[in-house]
Amino acid sequence: MGLVEDRVAVITGAASGIGRETATTFAEHGASVVVADVDAEGGEETVSRIADGGGEATFVETDVSDPDDVQGAIETAVEEFGGIDVLYNNAAIEGPVDRLHEYDDEAFERVVDVNLKGVWYGLKYGIEAMLADGGGSIVSASSIAGEVAVPNYSGYGAAKAAVGQLTRYAAIEYAEDGIRANAVAPGIVRTEMIERTIEENPEMEAQFEETEPMPGLAEPEEVANAVLFLGSELSSRVTGVTLPVEGGYLAQ
Ligand SMILES: NC(=O)c1ccc[n+]([C@@H]2O[C@H](COP(=O)([O-])OP(=O)(O)OC[C@H]3O[C@@H](n4cnc5c(N)ncnc54)[C@H](O)[C@@H]3O)[C@@H](O)[C@H]2O)c1
């Protein structure tokens, strides 16, 4: 018996990295999954990996900075799978790695549009659908950069900090409606996002390896398992928290 048997999960940014790993993990644990991403090729690849493993999934091309797209992804869950039980607001972009005074204005706006407003739309339309469907669990992607200041990530970090605060608002406003809202705050995870950053800033590779007290980098499945915990009944009394998945970084 899977931990999310017969549940329906919508996962944004599921064409790559942590989102793809979470989508396959949820499917392995019995959920039907809506894979929502701007990247159609990667999204379809996630769907076929799930199908190959005997699971059920569908892809919806979604730009999370567009409220209609987010609403569309959630409607797909209701129309194709009969409801929505779990939403993982995972899609994000890393933005530039620059000191604050050199951080490009347009890039800042795009980071806020995707990483913060994307989560806001997910919460808004996800909660609306869950209120009509007897409750559910929402998990959003924060970061260690949303908990403490990580140099040269001001736009990204500010958006992630706001994700933690939106999570707390959603948790208390809907606690009586059977809707839980939590976030995960990964440290450095071996994904395309980190690979791109290393490609553009090769000096950061050694720095990333040394960031967390636990040796090396996290693997996407280590974050996916934390999302599975928060999305399932295993965490039935947990709401409003940002769960660090960062090898002890924030304990220092
Ligand atoms: N990798 C890390 O070290 C790390 C650390 C802390 C937090 N995170 C967070 O984890 C989440 C996943 O990161 P990842 O490392 O797997 O990144 P990734 O780049 O591998 O995957 C991100 C996915 O989001 C999609 N995406 C980007 N913009 C989108 C948009 N506007 N609408 C819909 N989809 C969009 C991309 O197409 C991609 O499939 C992000 O929220 C990220 O900020 C990652």
Q: Is 20 in contact with 99 (CB distance < 8 Å)?
A: no
For 63-102, how does the pLDDT look when each residue is reduced to its tens digit (9 = 90+)? Answer: 999 999 999 999 999 999 999 999 999 999 999 999 999 9
Task: At 202, list the tokens.
Answer: 């090769």
pTM passes above 0.95: yes
Q: Which domains does the chain have, with CATH numbers?
A: 8-246 (3.40.50.720)
Condensed to tens digits (0 to 9), the pLDDT of residues 164-195 reads 999 999 999 999 999 999 999 999 999 999 99
> Is 156 assigned a catalytic role?
yes
Q: Which of 125, 153, 156, 249 is catalytic?
A: 156
Pocket test for ligand 1, best of 22, 60, 90 (most atoms within 8 A of CB): 90
Distance from the alpha carbon of residue 73 to the mean position of ligand 1, in angstroms: 17
